[in-house]
Structure 1
Amino acid sequence: MATTRADIEGMIARIAGEDRAAFLDLYDATSAKLFGVCLRVLKDRGESEDVLQDVFIKVWKNAGRYNVNGLSPMTWLITIARNAAIDRLRARKTPAEGGEALDRLQDAAPGPEAQAVAASEAREVVRCLGTLDDDRAAAVRGAYLDGETYQTLAARFDVPLNTMRTWLRRSLQKLRECLDG
């Protein structure tokens, strides 16, 4: 039986009350996708496994901060995983390397998380991405599927950083409306 959005929200709420069984259920339901996010960014299985542990520690400690507000709980979890992986990537970068090091590590090929999402929601996501302007859709893919930083995307699209943040925020709102509608 597939885990629903409501199931995941319920697990997070129970984790906020320190329910270990809910924590294990959440791990079973989401770890493959979150591992894929980490692996996509880090491109190293061992490091990705370490970061995934850190992600679930953060989920355990911060579950009470999750707010059921209509946004997908998977978006919250994927954001935690993506940010943790990017933090690890930045930490491994030597000071002698320039900002181009992150760009060289990026790969446009679909990764494990993209394949996992594709198995359950691909047609709807693709349809909804099609409602966005091409540059906005490419920015969303870069940020949330390829693990690119906002700074990298701003440089690629030649827009200020705050403009990129606005693009992504508005694009995610439009995607949410499309997926909920």
Structure 2
Amino acid sequence: MHSRSSTREDELELERQLVVRAQAKDREALGELLGRYGPGLYRSVLLPRLGSEAAAKDALADTYAKVVERIDRFTWQNVGFYPWLRTLALRVAIDQLRARKRMLVWDADDVERSLDADAGGDGGTDQSLSEHQDRAAARAKVTHAMGTIHPRYARAIQLRILEERPREEVATLLEVTPATFDVLLHRAIAALKKALASAKESEDTP
């Protein structure tokens, strides 16, 4: 146990040194920090909430830009760099969700709650545990919401929004014209919104 604790302390110290170098405009150190946590941030924080690879990649790029802009404001608290990075990513996700007009898996309020929950703790969320919780929460939300709407609606959302397949391809798979598919997708999103709203009301009811 002591050895494991010492190893963690050593890792934190090495990371702290990387942060110090990054704050001194050392691009190599900053690149190492982002390379260490970026893939997990994309896979477990951004992609589940934003619902598409393109949106998640844009959000990751925006997160990196904010890190470059704000790294000098970061204060080391001996819990690692990841919690701060994750908070930035969540805020980027909130901004992106609010700017979008179509309904995806998570909405801005959902991500706000994630951020508020983090703020209520000590900020020391372990990366692997945090990623596991993020994936589990996203998976549960998707499974529940998609399972409560008409299967055809769920398939339309899965193919067009979550998998981002071309409109014409999805219309062909569903054996409808592109124009008819547009109507179908609109109704599917409305059904999903209603299902999510009902689930949220249930969660908020004491």
State the TM-score, normalizing by the size of structure 1.
0.52
Is residue 81 of structure 2 the alignment partner of residue 70 of structure 1?
no
Which residue does the alignment assign to 1:156?
Answer: 203
Deviations 1:87-107 (A, max 9, x none): 11111136xx8xx9828x99x
Q: String of CA shifts for 1:39-59, please: whole Å, max 9, x gaps.
A: 111011011111111111111
- Relative to 1, partners in 2 of residues 1:23 and 1:101: Cα closer, same or farther, differing over 3 Å? closer
Residue identity in the other structure for 1:88: Q
Greater RCO (Cα-Cα under 8 Å, separation 6 or more):
1
CA contact (8 A) 2:15 2:80 kept: no
* 1:154 Cα deviation after fit: 10
Q: Distance in 1 between matches of 2:106 and 2:83?
A: 27
Q: Which runs of 5+ in 1 are unaligned?
A: 107-115, 123-140, 160-181
- Note if 1:33 corresponds to 2:40: yes
User: Which letter does structure 2 place at the counterpart of 1:156?
Assistant: E
- Tell me: CA distance 1:153–1:44, structure 2 relative to 1, closer, same or farther (3 Å): same
3-state SS of the aligned residue for 2:75?
coil
Q: Which residue of 2 aligns with 1:171?
A: none
The alignment status of 1:23 with 2:34, answered yes or no, reads: no
- CA distance in 1 between counterparts of 2:29 and 2:201 reads 39
Q: 1:167 corresponds to which residue?
A: none
Three-state SS of the structure 2 residue aligned to 1:4 is: helix
CA distance in 1, matches of 2:86, 2:202: 23
Letter in 1 for 2:86: I
- Note the alpha carbon deviations across 1:58-95, whole angstroms, 9 max, x for none: 1111111111123332111111112211211111136x
Number of paired residues? 120
In 1: Cα distance, 2:137 partner to 2:204 partner: 17
Work out the CA distance in 2 between the residues paired with 1:34 and 1:101. 16
Gaps of 5+ in 2: 1-7, 112-126, 142-198
2:12–2:79 CA contact under 8 A, matched in 1? no
**Partners in 2 of 1:48 and 1:13 — Cα distance?**
28
Structure 2 CA distance for aligned equivalents of residues 153 and 50 of structure 1: 28
Runs of 4+ in 1 over 4 A off after TM superposition: 152-155
Q: Which deviations, in whole Å up to 9, do the C-alpha atoms of 1:134-170 show, x marking residues without a partner?
A: xxxxxxx57x964x9xxx98983458xxxxxxxxxxx
Counterpart CA distance in 2 for 1:47 and 1:82 is 13
Q: Distance in 2 between matches of 1:145 and 1:7?
A: 31
Inter-partner Cα distance in structure 2 for 1:153 and 1:32 = 30
Taking only the aligned residue pairs, the percentage that are identical comes to 24
Q: CA RMSD in A?
A: 4.0
1:102 to 95, 104, 107: 107
Q: 1:16–1:60: 8 Å Cα contact kept in structure 2?
A: no
1:125 aligns to what? none
Contact 1:42 1:85 in 2 (8 A): yes
TM superposition shift of 1:9: 2.8
